[in-house]
Copies of this chain bind each other. A is one copy, B any other.
């Protein structure tokens, strides 16, 4: 396997032309950085991705993690990769200097994670989890917890995880049963079971640090009684790491994403599992949601990365594979043409780009909001925070759901070869299916956007979103080439507004169940409008560039992207019509359908 798996050209276009990352360096927090340092970081990330991650992409899939003598054995390259991550400072780079980080903007660190995930999502997952877990300790834990855990996490010696899911509580966190009992010491005694814990155990680290949800004995029922603990696999006693009574009782055999183990953990079988409380009791879910929101955006990023790599693999094949002749050519003795010359293959390639490059822009948009939250004065943060909250379920689910479709079209470009493991498409197809599931299913994201985000603060976030879209529409109106699209986006936004208003009346008249019944369709509609906005935003940046002097390569790049923009508006945006028809119906069909209608 060789070849391109990511477009640095497109990344730089997004960073510099669309989202103007350089403007961040005017703020003191980011003032040590500039375009040169950003480019150096990008170059280092690309090198690591190319040299270490991509070469074992396939191999890690072929030798999935297994539980051997109570320990999960993963591909040996994980150790090397974690070492490289630590050496390069990738685990800590987003954090402030004072906790050992590099104060890099989220936009840059996310783009680097994107590059890693394009090369090998599984390999990148380990350090991403560690980084997120360390972030929770940094944000909500005390100095003692920091000292005890974070340095070893940043050095890649210890793995971090987020341990939420339990056998009887998947999406329903209020039903977790893991119990924490106070002791005389600085710790609690933990007893319970967790399932589906990513990187929850493996043999390439000395220790695993679980950021774990549990209920303190006597805590209130439901989500209000959830606390957050640090529960390590091994704890330090007299300068030695000893067992902390966390047993790996199983490793799941997954369809894909096989480079990273997902395990089942039993805590406290011997009555000797210790956990250290993070922050205040019963505030665990709130803390966890910091990590969860980042993790959700990271899932979107990972999904987008897989689909991007799949696109380049299918593009390479489509350019080199000779097959058939153009539909207008009737002479069978003429030589066969590369399949990229067939309109239907171009359609499948453009579809992939329309999804991928649109979604990547949204993910960059979210990262920009994260960066602004770091630097803006308190009073300006609220709006940015609301926008980020509103867009998080979209940033998680659109790339996940549509990335699968994009990869499927990539696979289809290869025909029978796409179904066989001589090419990487079948692996991308298997790998990507995790994304609509982990860190909150698409169903959960639907309820989040419609049942919480759109209505929070009296619909303030939704109003802000509309303002942002309108700004882009207005900016686009300066360019005649963009007028057809700015009109379509304005119309789509109006329809999105109408649908939302309609559903809010449904909530009043028919109650919450009917209101939320088609939340997933609402999310899909919202996602399409959002990506249309991001495409128009890119269109404005393109037109700005085309107004100046551009190289021949840039001209190809920009005109190519304009074709993809047109494609999105012609093939994808119209999909909101069908969704709109259903969303305006609101007959409560699925609510009213009794379970007895499934009898046959």
Task: Report A's interface with B, CB cutoff 8 A.
Answer: 7, 9-10, 165, 168-172, 174-175, 195-196, 221-223, 252-257, 262, 315, 319, 322-328, 332-333, 336, 338, 340-347, 349-350, 404, 408, 411-412, 415-416, 418-422, 426, 429-430, 433-434, 436-438, 441-443, 446-447, 451, 511-514, 516-521, 553, 556-557, 559-560, 563-564, 566-567, 570-571, 574-579, 581-582, 585, 587, 589-591, 593, 595-600
Contact = CB atoms under 8 A, between A and B. Distances in A.
Most buried by B among A350, A418, A578: A578
A371 to B, nearest CB: 25
B600 A9 contact: yes
Given A7-B600, A595-B341, A347 B520 contact: yes
B451 A10 contact: no
Contacts of A332: 174-175, 221-223
Contact of A557 (B9, B175, B419, B599): B599
A346 B590 contact: yes
Nearest to A8: B600
Given A196-B416, A416-B196, A437-B418, A574 B578 contact: yes
A477 to B, nearest CB: 22
A326 B571 CA distance: 36
A355 to B, nearest CB: 15
Most buried by B among A325, A437, A600: A600
A564 B597 CA distance: 9
A283 to B, nearest CB: 17
A496 to B, nearest CB: 15
Nearest to A252: B420
Nearest to A333: B221
5 contacts: A252-B422, A255-B420, A412-B442, A419-B434, A563-B593
B255 A590 contact: no
Nearest to A583: B574
B512 A333 contact: no
Contact of A430 (B255, B436, B437): B255
Contacts of A174: 332
Most buried by B among A338, A345, A556, A574: A574
Q: Across the A-B interface, give the 9 residue pairs with the lowest CB-CB distance, nearest first.
A: A222-B332, A560-B597, A172-B324, A574-B581, A577-B577, A255-B426, A574-B578, A343-B517, A556-B599
A443 B598 CA distance: 35
A129 B161 CA distance: 50
Given A415-B437, A421-B253, A336 B172 contact: yes
Contacts of A254: 419-421, 426
**Chain A interface mostly helix, strand, loop or mixed?**
helix
Q: How many copies does the complex hold?
A: 2
A497 B597 CA distance: 35
A416 B433 contact: no
Given A577-B574, A578-B575, A350 B419 contact: no
Nearest to A405: B405
A222 B330 CA distance: 10
Given A172-B324, A255-B421, 4 more contacts: A412-B442, A419-B434, A560-B596, A576-B578
Contacts of A175: 323-324, 332, 336
A162 B109 CA distance: 53
Given A195-B416, A347-B520, A433-B429, A513 B597 contact: no
A589 B570 contact: yes
A567 B596 contact: no
A324 B451 CA distance: 16
A251 B567 CA distance: 39
A562 to B, nearest CB: 8
Contact of A513 (B10, B343, B350): B343
Contacts of A516: 327, 343-344
A323 B166 CA distance: 11
Contacts of A429: 255, 433
Contact of A323 (B170, B451, B563): B170
A332 B571 CA distance: 44
A598 B315 contact: yes
A172 B319 CA distance: 17
A393 B531 CA distance: 33
Nearest to A579: B574
B10 A600 contact: yes
Contacts of A447: 327, 344
A580 B256 CA distance: 36
B416 A170 contact: yes
A344 B557 contact: no
A439 B600 CA distance: 33
A343 to B, nearest CB: 4
Nearest to A446: B344
B408 A437 contact: no
Contacts of A591: 343, 346
Contact of A438 (B257, B338, B416): B416
Contact of A598 (B349, B430, B566, B587): B349
